[in-house]
Structure 1
């Protein structure tokens, strides 16, 4: 069996704000889909109301992804071919605990500094956990999605 390509899709009230937060948090790049959008607009396949301006370029209003800077991507449409998070606009607010979350691994001895950096980016600390199996900080992104810093 061939390994499958995947991306993690995250529901969001404001996909662009979430993408900006996670790009900064992870050191990822916000994908540039402007060339693809311009082609689709020119051909009449999509309308302007499906787009916004973000980072000085045209972007999808309701979808935006971030990708690892070292991973390959398709130059004609900006879509990453490796590690990616895709944020999609949904009408309902987040409710309840995440069933899936990211664990961020800080360099040895740097967890507290990493937590402080993420707080400066807009995250909040929910709690610190110290158990026989390890120690980590549970945080929330600007829309309340939980993640851990180990």
Structure 2
């Protein structure tokens, strides 16, 4: 579950308490700080185990506590792989490159770091791709390899894979 809470003392505890109150078990809490968010709010990801029949009660309790639920459900993209692409990424439509992975429906680019040393020089990007399973990751990589070949980009793979 991904939630938005007020950035004030005690708000995280207040947001997590309803989970235990309805019989849920908190497995992990990831607190994100993003300066582009609305002022005075924080995004928190909570990995939890809760019986399906108690979910409606949890949602009601969180809303009553003033917690905004941004996403709720099972994690869909379980496998991650990092790769590097090198070449004229901006001149070959970087947005199109990312979109070709995202359009598969079973994989998406979840993180990207771009380095551009100069307008006429080659740039490099570190892509982190998430997919639903290993077979879908393999298909997404086939798409990325085809894009790299068509656009004359060097693809360095895989740097890291996490299941």
Structure in which a larger fraction of residues adopt strand:
2
Band of TM-score, shorter chain: under 0.3
**TM-score under structure 2 length normalisation:** 0.25
Structure possessing the higher radius of gyration over alpha carbons:
2
Structure in which a larger fraction of residues adopt helix:
2
**TM-score under structure 1 length normalisation:** 0.26
